Amino acid sequence: MYRISVVPGDGIGPEIIAEGIRVLEAAGDACGIKFEWKYFPYGAEHYLETEEVLPDDALKEMEKTESIYLGAVGDPRVKPGILEKELLLKMRFYFDQYVNLRPIKLYPGVPCPLKDKGPEHINFYVVRENTEDFYVGVGDRLSSAKHSSLLEIKRKLYDIKFNIDITQDKANEIAYQVGIISREGARRIMKFAFELAKRKGMNRVTAVDKANVLTHIYSLWRDVFEEVAKDYPGIDTEFNFVDAVTMWFVKNPEWYRVVVTPNMFGDIITDLGAMIQGGMGLAPGGNINPEGISMFEPIHGSAPKYKGQNRVNPIATILAGQLMLEDLNEQGAADLVERATIEVLREGKIRTYDLGGTSKTSEVGNAIARKVAELG
């Protein structure tokens, strides 16, 4: 029996999570796995009513469960940054989910916006570092000639304080933001990327950075990549600058196998990745702590304008459920969810508007759950 924390969140979150759970239940029935779902109310509605975003007690409760299933966060009534930082990033950091695993896979029957590219060309993983880089969120904004700030980054790995004294020629208004890469933070994400390549039989790992401009943080990133690569002599390695990656994902996606990237560039290139795999409605992600509690979510947002319409594609969330099963070592059930999804996509009868169909969110969830039962 697995206890799973569920945070449906905002906008379309509750609708897609309901379909994800329907499919996971079906896979559980087929494979003899039981789930107990523990729901948490956090998100915009809860915040607007109570001013509470995510209390520490809730994190402690989630710590008693085996995994976390998240819908989406974000709401136009809440200032940008509050729910993102205090809910989503807080969970990623608290549970030290240092891997953001985002498969970029185009399934048969899914329209791809790239001319002459099909499923045989688009099948790779982006391994996004998930706790460091510019996402550490420390910085300041000032407009005095003399200023000092105490900035702190607290992680499972370290507690770092920056005492920054600023002296300016005059009272310019400026803002700055600090990005961090640590040797250990880089090492563990590189190791995950190479281990993934090995496990999946993929023979190339590409490291993304902008080491030609952000020379401090990404020279450390590169050094660690080269060191970790030495333990995997059978796997080819290369460095790609992030700007070039956006070009190559479009021009030659078939080149890529495992792509390891710092946090912020990973955020950007996986939206591009989602588009070449058929759209945001198909792109799942896992926030993984291989030694701890992981969290699975679609990579898209809360799409507030579609809230309550039973209209959006639940497949990204369903495939996030597949990633959860894989993380729980339930490979058979994970494969079943993927095969059922592929089959429903291939048949092409039941699909939401983003894939050119007219089916409802719940019809897609139902069809995949039925297919799971049939194949299981």
Judged by the rule CB under 5 A, the positions of this chain that interact with Mn ion are 267
Report the nearest approach of Mn ion to the CB of residue 349 (Å): 31
The residues, any chain, with a CB within 8 Å of residue 127's CB and separated by 6 or more, are 99, 100, 101, 102, 189, 192, 193, 196, 258, 259, 260, 261, 266
Question: Residue 84 binds what, of Mn ion, ligand IPM, none (CB under 5 to 8 Å, by partner type)?
Answer: ligand IPM
Q: Which amino acid is at 371?
A: K
Question: Residue 288 binds what, of ligand IPM, Mn ion, none (CB under 5 to 8 Å, by partner type)?
Answer: none
Question: Is the Cβ of residue 88 or residue 153 nearer to ligand IPM in the bound state?
Answer: 88
Report the nearest approach of ligand IPM to the CB of residue 72 (Å): 8
In this structure, the strands spanning 284-288 and 99-105 are antiparallel
Judged by the rule CB under 6 A, the positions of this chain that interact with ligand IPM are 84, 88-89, 267, 299
Question: Residue 335 binds what, of Mn ion, ligand IPM, none (CB under 5 to 8 Å, by partner type)?
Answer: none
Q: Output Rg (C-alpha) for the chain, integer angstroms.
A: 21
Question: Residue 25 binds what, of Mn ion, ligand IPM, none (CB under 5 to 8 Å, by partner type)?
Answer: none
Pairwise CA distance, residues 337 & 331, whole Å: 10
Question: Is the Cβ of residue 89 or residue 122 nearer to Mn ion in the bound state?
Answer: 89
Angle at 266 between CA 177 and CA 19, to 5 degrees: 120
Report the nearest approach of ligand IPM to the CB of residue 299 (Å): 5
Question: Residue 258 binds what, of Mn ion, ligand IPM, none (CB under 5 to 8 Å, by partner type)?
Answer: none
Q: Of all residues in this chain, which one has the CB nearest to Mn ion in the complex? A: 267
In this structure, the strands spanning 294-298 and 284-288 are antiparallel
Question: Is the Cβ of residue 89 or residue 202 nearer to Mn ion in the bound state?
Answer: 89
The residues, any chain, with a CB within 8 Å of residue 199's CB and separated by 6 or more, are none
Report the nearest approach of ligand IPM to the CB of residue 84 (Å): 4
User: Rounded to an integer, what is the distance from CA 220 to the centroid of its chain?
Assistant: 24
Which three-class secondary structure state does DSSP give residue 135? strand
Question: Residue 88 binds what, of Mn ion, ligand IPM, none (CB under 5 to 8 Å, by partner type)?
Answer: ligand IPM
Question: Is the Cβ of residue 281 or residue 365 nearer to Mn ion in the bound state?
Answer: 281
